A = this chain, B = another copy of it.
């Protein structure tokens, strides 16, 4: 939860960080009550329908975006929650501006939405793989800032979580995928290929942080080498964000008839 846009961010962060916790059990003991609190807050959030909440999840391959969604939001009422995973754009999506498919999926008031990857992919992949020139990246950063500014001013709360793992940890996780039959489906040989571009991606992320971290749409850097700390911290950020809204259940609409009339009708 360090916010610093001067100089480089990632080299200063230790992906092995575990906050004040010395072990997994300590963190997990706190997860239960936090999840209950999240469920309570979501209930009021849904009833009040004043804000929408958009949680953007970004991070290198194997940084644990899927796992974070699973562990942070598994206690939430699915009626008010959606996850959208943005994969390679379809032909129709590519034929529109880069924010088109993302804007469509933004949450309605009362709803919480997690983006597993997002519009930020559009200033990552095409940049690292050579198609996108500097001017275009710069232009897209401006469009992203304007887009997020519009969303926040129209009552969408935005938080952006960067899951920070080390290059060694990534390799370890890729190997896990090869060894565990339940994780084979997650293995993609292109993940190994993409590792060659590790530094380019880190550079691209530095620019993302510099260009798009705003008070109303902050980036949170989450040390993610330890899954349990990653989950704890992400959950904590979401809960804190909702607490800050000072949510309350809406009062009975004064336009509805006096309830006493309904209970003891005059006629």
Kindly state whether residue A143 has any CB partner on chain B within 8 Å.
yes
Residues facing B in A104-158 (CB within 8 A) are 104, 106, 108-111, 139, 143, 146-147, 149-151, 153-156
Give the CA-CA distance A104 to B111 in the complex, in Å. Answer: 19
Determine whether the beta carbon of A143 is less than 8 Å from that of B150: yes
Partner of A49, one of B95, B104, B108, B147: B95
Kindly state whether residue A98 has any CB partner on chain B within 8 Å.
yes
Determine whether the beta carbon of A106 is less than 8 Å from that of B110: no
Question: A98 to chain B: which residues have CB within 8 Å?
Answer: 154
- Scoring A97, A106, A111, A156 by chain B CB atoms within 10 A of each residue's CB, the highest score goes to A97
Determine whether the beta carbon of B104 is less than 8 Å from that of A104: yes
Contacts A92-B108, A104-B104, A108-B92 given; indicate if A99 touches B49 (C-beta within 8 A): no
Contacts A103-B103, A104-B103, A104-B104 given; indicate if A154 touches B97 (C-beta within 8 A): yes
Question: A104 to chain B: which residues have CB within 8 Å?
Answer: 100, 103-104
Kindly state whether residue A267 has any CB partner on chain B within 8 Å.
no
Chain B nearest CB: distance from A102 CB in Å? 10
Q: Which residue of B lies closest to A109 (CB)?
A: B95
- Scoring A139, A149, A154 by chain B CB atoms within 10 A of each residue's CB, the highest score goes to A154
Q: Which residue of B lies closest to A151 (CB)?
A: B97
Give the CA-CA distance A92 to B98 in the complex, in Å. Answer: 23
Give the CA-CA distance A106 to B101 in the complex, in Å. Answer: 11
List 8 additional contacts besides A95-B108, A99-B103; criterion CB under 8 Å. Answer: A52-B96, A96-B109, A97-B106, A97-B151, A97-B155, A104-B104, A143-B149, A143-B154
